[in-house]
Amino acid sequence: GKNALMRGAVALAANGIPIFNALNNRGVDSFSIGELDEFGGHCGRADDYHYHAAPLAIGAIVGKGKPIAYALDGFPIYGLFDPAAKPGDDLACPCGAHDKLDELNGHFCELPKGQGFGGGTRSYHYHASKSYPYINGGMKGKVTLNGEGNESEINPQAHANPLRPALQALRGARITGFKQTGEKAWTLEYELAGKKCTIAYRVESEGKVNFEFTDADGKVTKETYTGRDQGGAGRPRGQGRGQGGGQGGGGQGGRGGQQRDDRPPPPPTDDNPPRGDQPDAPRVAKTPNTPGMNLECASLDANGMLETRCTCDGDSLSPALKWSGLPAGTKSIAVTMHHIPPGAESDHVYIMLYAIPATATGIGEGARDIGTWGVNTVNRRREYAPPCSKGPGVKVYTATVYALSEEPKLDAGRDGATRAQLLKAIEKTTLGTASFDLRFERKGGGGDDQPPQQRGGARGGQGGGGRRGGQGGGGQGGGGQGGGGQGGGGQGGGEQGGGEQGGGGGLLSRMTAFHTDVPAHDFDIVLLRPTRDAITASVVVATDRLAAIEFAREGDAQRRTTDKQQLKAGTTASFALDALAPDAAYTYRLVWWPAAGTEPTRSDELRFHTPRPSGSSFTFDIQADSHLDANMDPKVYEQTLRNVRADKPDFFVDLGDTFMTDKRGQDYERALPQYDAQRYYFGIACDTAPLFMVLGNHDGEKGDENGAQGRGMGEWSYKQRTARFPAPVIDGKMFTGATAMKDGHGANYYAFEWGDALCVVLDPFWFATERMRGGGGGGGAGGGPDVKQLEPQDASWSRTLGRAQYDWLADTLAKSKAKRKFVFIHHLVGGIGGPAARGGVESAPFFEWGGKNANGSDGFAEHRPSWPMPIHQLLVKHGVSAVFHGHDHLYVHSSKDGVVYQCVPQPGNAAGGTRSAEEYGYASGTILGSPGYLRVKVDADGAAKIQFVRSALDGNTRDKNGTVIDSYEIQ
């Protein structure tokens, strides 16, 4: 809970991996803020893998009706509970238990005689859930505790010991493969600086493991390790777990980031520099980005930690750094220092120093007379920001030196140049880099990492959002032995070793998380960017061929044919169907020639309708948060899209969280299969209904992503999306807004009219370039008996449409004469819960959306000077009918000041419920669970009927597929 069991594991998964409290070391729900991978876990600072949420994927391995974990009070934890299942019909309800789950996520059950309490039949078990507490929400049985309050932990602890000592991370490394090469042998493959490297290991008798490392230069190193007998007993008080959120090089099956490491240090090597008893020995970066370059720090104490005088607890002096081995041609030097806090949406920057002379060999402690200082992100000043973090565990701050071929020319402006500007400016002038990790552990006080909120009650935390990004289990780099068995290899933030490309022998290596495997199909077609006289057919084929599209107005005998294109398998091609008539139905089909001179083959005939004029009736459908993750059932998602197709809508709107790119962290390119899989899914409905896309918070397209990493995830994500799903062309006729990318900065807001409806798509991500900062009046991440919901946080003022988009919205709404005005957005600008950004009507009064501070006072004039009014008031002024949003995985229909706020359910979450609604702040309106989609029927007079259509598979005992679960009208 929030005030108990904040240290150590509370359960042990069936694969031997510990499960911790749902909260991280700051008292925040790790799942809801995106710190976890798709399995519900992540690596701690010691590269030890552990869960914070229910490892539901284990259910596919252990089988239905069997425990996926055991709580440390001895009671089993089963998979998801279906309260609608009939007794005896559903193995997810073991022992015939169908009572509602209690506050601990469990209920009593009946066992065969002799197996229950005191040799009787009555017993108890817990269930997993997709919202807080995810696992057991406390302990039903008796346990022994070490410590008190949130410093307590259960004794003895479930944990494993690493086979090898944790080493400094290989910065820039990317895992590319993991395979079993023998009965007890595995090989991990990765790339470093574009070169292939491997770690091969074999388990011998008596726990001995032989390793063979092949580095980027082809050098082979062999090492042998023997497992250490250190497990089982509880740890001394004060030795905390200190979760982080890294992508990391795999898990070690157990413990995480202890505050103190009592193991004897390994022998000094180049990869493990001396420390402690040799404090004067320089510590260098384990793997400099450029061979030969070196970076050292002289401001370390006897334990290799950053000197107190360089932190906020001391004199706040910048650390002394020394570099060597700069490449020939170096004309200028730059230095940065940053930290990646768990759950933060961007890096924290502590040093931004550039224009250092090439003759310099370092900077002294507290230096101010060298180079030009840029702005830090902690206090926004042109100076060093000392580390000031709070919370158990060691924090890591990475210093990097850049050797440049010319001095960067930066627009410092009034506030000073940023690290993002520097990284962008030196993309083509960087000759080499070297990095060094500074470590700091603070014992108390405030800081840039917000301390946990202390609230009463035995439980805490909150419901979660979308599913996760990608570690597996096993040893650090492969081979660690975790509690209940050997792990399946290292993980690097994607699906290697435990997902799509795995193949190891461990349990995690056989799990699949993201559902990116789709049925084999010859081609898919997605219609996009329709105008009054044209439409784009985006085509992907399974085999190379020469192809074109034949089309005709419905009823016409004469067909027209587009230009032929040579299509390559798996590559998107766009065909322009132009010179169309307005308000007309068209048929079309794909035609192709497998080889020159062969007879053509034609697809089935498909249909679409060009935009309707005023006074016409039409239908469009909406979905949100398809995810393709462990929470969704591909068959249910496919059924939803077939239902949409059967509606014959004029167009289809997707509200985002479609590609889940940011769940892979720095390995975001591993999200590529999601983009390709969604081609198949959208092809089910959108070969007849043009697709309009809205960005989601997990789709990787964010201004703060590019701000933190230069041209990184944001630009890559934009290119993948628009290559497969071309965005509307802003021509000032059919579409207004912005959808193009310029200088690495994208956009996705646009508006169009169809019949008597104005449709406005908003983008709250690309223009929110200021990182989210903590604190400010809210109560933090609530949940549990005494903390029922998330609360607003003033940090949410950093979320914005940006002035240009706001002005465009105001102008678009003011000029439109449409009878119905619909707004589409993934989540409101701000919301409650800080980075969680949850809620609908109850969240509408706050921040840029509604104008109020977290404490309810008026803050709009201060935070948005010269802006006419908050967004909600703008919508009311111009008669907006409805705001359709997703993000919260619920169906919620409510209204405020005449504006409908409609949360759209997930299309593929078969077990969707409403337990998270209260936590997300929903307190009014109609609240229902997923799965399904919205059907919107607009009549000729402009009246709109909104229907929630249930999606279900055959045999579903709760709802029949296609049932209208809720319906209302907007007159």
- CATH number of the CATH domain containing 584: 2.60.40.10
- Tell which wins on pLDDT, 45 or 546: 546
The answer on 385 and 327 residing in a single domain is yes
The answer on 207 and 243 residing in a single domain is no
Where does the pLDDT of residue 150 fall: very low under 50, low under 70, confident under 90, or very high at 90 and above? low
Share of the chain above pLDDT 70, in %: 78
The answer on 201 and 98 residing in a single domain is no
Are 655 and 904 contacting, i.e. CB atoms less than 8 angstroms apart? yes
pLDDT the model gives residue 505: 32
pLDDT the model gives residue 620: 99
CATH number at residue 935: 3.60.21.10
| pLDDT surpasses 50 at 483 | no
pLDDT the model gives residue 25: 65
The answer on 134 and 34 residing in a single domain is yes
The answer on 636 and 666 residing in a single domain is yes
pLDDT the model gives residue 458: 30
Are 727 and 694 contacting, i.e. CB atoms less than 8 angstroms apart? no
Residue 41 inside a domain? The answer is yes
Phi, psi (deg, nearest 5) at residue 117? -60, 135
Domain boundary among 574, 609, 644: 609
Torsion sign over Cα 309, 311, 313, 315: positive
Where does the pLDDT of residue 457 fall: very low under 50, low under 70, confident under 90, or very high at 90 and above? very low
- The three-class DSSP label of residue 811 is helix
The answer on 808 and 690 residing in a single domain is yes
Domain boundary among 582, 609, 636: 609
User: Residue 355: how many CA atoms within 13 Å on its side-chain side?
Assistant: 12
Residue 412 inside a domain? The answer is yes
For tokens 């020939």, the residue is: 328
Share of the chain above pLDDT 90, in %: 49
Where does the pLDDT of residue 809 fall: very low under 50, low under 70, confident under 90, or very high at 90 and above? very high
- Tell which wins on pLDDT, 375 or 499: 375
Residue 269 inside a domain? The answer is no
Geometric angle at alpha carbon 229, from 223 and 230, rounded to 5°: 110
The answer on 386 and 244 residing in a single domain is no
Q: Are strands 882-885 and 820-824 parallel, antiparallel or unpaired?
A: parallel
44-48, 626-630, 905-909: which has the minimum mean pLDDT? Answer: 44-48
Residue 280 inside a domain? The answer is no
- Tell which wins on pLDDT, 747 or 487: 747
pLDDT the model gives residue 390: 59
Where does the pLDDT of residue 182 fall: very low under 50, low under 70, confident under 90, or very high at 90 and above? confident
pLDDT the model gives residue 252: 30
pLDDT the model gives residue 343: 54
189-193, 420-424, 770-774, 961-965: which has the minimum mean pLDDT? Answer: 770-774
The answer on 346 and 249 residing in a single domain is no
The answer to whether the predicted template modeling score (pTM) of the entire model surpasses 0.75 is no
Geometric angle at alpha carbon 766, from 517 and 570, rounded to 5°: 30
Are 394 and 303 contacting, i.e. CB atoms less than 8 angstroms apart? no
pLDDT the model gives residue 155: 78
| pLDDT surpasses 90 at 708 | no
Residue 278 inside a domain? The answer is no
The answer on 744 and 678 residing in a single domain is yes
Task: Tell me the helices (H) and strands (E) count for the chain, helix number first.
Answer: 11, 48
Q: How far is CA 842 from CA 342, 413, 503, 892, 896, in A?
A: 28, 39, 47, 12, 9
- The b-or-e profile of 70-101 (16+ CB within 10 A means b, else e) is bbbbebbbbbbbbeeeeeeebebbbbebbeeb
94-98, 249-253, 732-736: which has the minimum mean pLDDT? Answer: 249-253
Distance CA(326)–CA(401), nearest Å, equals 10
76-80, 109-113, 760-764, 840-844: which has the minimum mean pLDDT? Answer: 109-113
The domain total for the chain is 5
Q: Which residue(s) pair with 754 in the sheet? A: 757
The answer on 32 and 64 residing in a single domain is yes
- Tell which wins on pLDDT, 385 or 860: 860
- Tell which wins on pLDDT, 868 or 179: 868
- By the 10 Å C-beta count (0-12 exposed, 13-18 middle, 19+ buried), 660 is classed as buried
Distance CA(712)–CA(732), nearest Å, equals 30
Averaged confidence pLDDT in the chain: 80
Domain boundary among 555, 581, 609: 609
pLDDT the model gives residue 162: 62
Where does the pLDDT of residue 414 fall: very low under 50, low under 70, confident under 90, or very high at 90 and above? low
Mean pLDDT computed over 118-135: 85
| pLDDT surpasses 80 at 410 | yes
Mean pLDDT computed over 114-141: 85
Where does the pLDDT of residue 473 fall: very low under 50, low under 70, confident under 90, or very high at 90 and above? very low
How is residue 95 written in tokens? 């022992």
Of 321, 323, 318, 312, nearest to 288 by C-alpha is: 323
- Tell which wins on pLDDT, 178 or 331: 331
pLDDT the model gives residue 328: 93
The answer on 408 and 306 residing in a single domain is yes
The answer on 827 and 694 residing in a single domain is yes
The per-residue pLDDT for range 16-37, each reduced to its tens digit, is 889 988 887 667 777 777 778 8
Mean pLDDT computed over 924-942: 96
| pLDDT surpasses 90 at 933 | yes
Task: Give the distance from CA 274 to its chain's centroid.
Answer: 37
- Tell which wins on pLDDT, 26 or 293: 293
| pLDDT surpasses 50 at 6 | yes
Geometric angle at alpha carbon 40, from 231 and 724, rounded to 5°: 140
- By the 10 Å C-beta count (0-12 exposed, 13-18 middle, 19+ buried), 825 is classed as buried
Q: Are strands 820-824 and 757-761 parallel, antiparallel or unpaired?
A: parallel
pLDDT the model gives residue 814: 98
pLDDT the model gives residue 705: 53
For tokens 């031997």, the residue is: 16
Residue 104 inside a domain? The answer is yes
Residue 267 inside a domain? The answer is no
pLDDT the model gives residue 260: 30
Range of the domain at 180: 174-226
The per-residue pLDDT for range 645-686, each reduced to its tens digit, is 999 999 999 999 999 998 887 788 989 999 999 999 999 999
pLDDT the model gives residue 555: 92
Residue 501 inside a domain? The answer is no
- Tell which wins on pLDDT, 317 or 681: 681
- Tell which wins on pLDDT, 149 or 282: 149
